[in-house]
Structure 1
Amino acid sequence: MSEYRTRRASLFVGVLMSLVTLTSVAAQPALPAQVAAIQDRWAQINYNTPKKQREAEFEALAKQAAAARDAQSGNAAALIWEGIVLSSFAGERGGLGALGLVKKARKDFEQALSIDPKALDGAAYTSLGALYYQVPGWPIGFGDDAKARELLQSGLKVDPDGIDANYFYADYLQDRGDWKGAAAALEKALAAPARPGRELADQGRRKDIQVLLAKVRPHLASR
């Protein structure tokens, strides 16, 4: 069984908790203050909080994100950030108890796409695509490899040079043994421009990229 299938079988065992941070915030309209606070707190929890504390912290942040979504009715960014927080919470919780959380996250991302598919540089496409390749398929969950590829590629069309769009597409490709494609996407992610105000998120994502590159490179050398 491939590592990808093993990960699906055990549900959310790591990648979900690092689910997509936002791309090129400087090019986007200013976030509502409540949503910006969620964004900043997410990075602090995901990258600076000890693992044993993260589930409780994400659970609290999910309540805050729900309040922000209610206060910003019809705001795609608020929906995207609630979905990101729920996905991260699911990654920490793990097991079947995470499935309800990712279903709520999927609904948030789908609603955000119906409002503004280009919001936050297409982050809803990338976030939803990541869910589709990480969540188990039927009858346990809604995972779908083909749907994942379609969504991830849609995210890349909106933000072709983005650090997150390329990172998650690379992770998808390496799960399928496309080492060359994954390496190319990871190198592009490393070359992505810095995101003003997102220094902690950028630093953490670049570490994620280096970890994945270390996994991919030996397969390139063996060919």
Structure 2
Amino acid sequence: MVQPLLVMACVAGASLSSVAHADALNEIQQAWAKCQYDTFNKDNKVHCLNNVIAQTNTALQQSPGRADLKVWLAINKSSLAGAKGGLGALPLVKEAKSLLEDVIKTDPKTLDGSAYTSLGTLYYQVPGWPIGFGDDDKAEEMLKKALAINPDGIDPNYFYGDFLAQDGRRDDAMVYLKRASHAKPRPGRKLADAGRQREIQQKLKELQ
């Protein structure tokens, strides 16, 4: 049992630590959203995402055990791979895959199962063997696990809908995309939510 005189110090320390952790994560999320949705020139986007990766690495060096930062390092690396394109992006997605698998092994419910969402997305967007590790069966498995943890989230519904659309399952895809369009706004994620909602509406338009 904690001694009474230590309670205030422990609570204060935990609160300050939590605030610092939240601030670091929020800054990374905001920086990524600006790269992803406010930067349209390819070279500028690559430069922007490289900076966010450096920022995330610095945060991880200070708090190496934080699974949420590992998820975001993977997201940033995946986004950079998408911005770069081509076979040169494969090392980045392999690094992202390794990070996400590590989080799933140790703390799979981190950020409402975001590691499952991100890994599932990689599995259906990356080319299959012998070029990459893409696998539609694994993609669906991961995305369903993400939805089991966060059934109303904008990202798991959007990416599962996008996967179903690419798999030719139009009606099912529209169900999940519409569910994503009705997701509640995420605190501190206004720019990201607005960008994702534009992507959702574009996908729905393509399917109608």
TM above 0.5, yes or no, is: yes
Give CA deviations for 1:146-176 in whole Å, capped at 9, x if unaligned: 0000000000000000000000000000011
Which residue pairs with 2:137 in the alignment?
Answer: 146
Give CA deviations for 1:58-98 in whole Å, capped at 9, x if unaligned: 11211221222222212110100000000000001111110
Which residue pairs with 1:137 in the alignment?
Answer: 128
How far has the Cα of 1:125 moved from its partner?
0.2
Task: State whether residues 123 and 138 of structure 2, in contact with CA within 8 Å, keep that contact through their aligned partners in structure 1.
Answer: yes
CA distance in 2, matches of 1:187, 1:75: 33
CA distance in 2, matches of 1:188, 1:172: 14
Structure 1 residue ranges without an equivalent (≥5): 1-28, 218-223
Percent of paired sites with the same residue: 47
How far has the Cα of 1:50 moved from its partner?
2.4
**2:80 is the counterpart of 1:89:** yes
TM-score (norm 1): 0.82
RMSD between aligned residues: 1.2
Which residue pairs with 1:200 in the alignment?
Answer: 191
Give the number of the structure whose alpha-carbon radius of gyration is greater: 2
Task: State whether residues 28 and 56 of structure 2, in contact with CA within 8 Å, keep that contact through their aligned partners in structure 1.
Answer: yes
Which residue pairs with 1:45 in the alignment?
Answer: 35
Structure 2 residue ranges without an equivalent (≥5): 1-17
Paired residues in the alignment total: 189
TM-score (norm 2): 0.88
CA distance in 2, matches of 1:72, 1:78: 9
1:98 to 50, 68, 89: 89
Which residue pairs with 1:215 in the alignment?
Answer: 206
Task: State whether residues 97 and 119 of structure 2, in contact with CA within 8 Å, keep that contact through their aligned partners in structure 1.
Answer: yes
How far has the Cα of 1:36 moved from its partner?
2.1
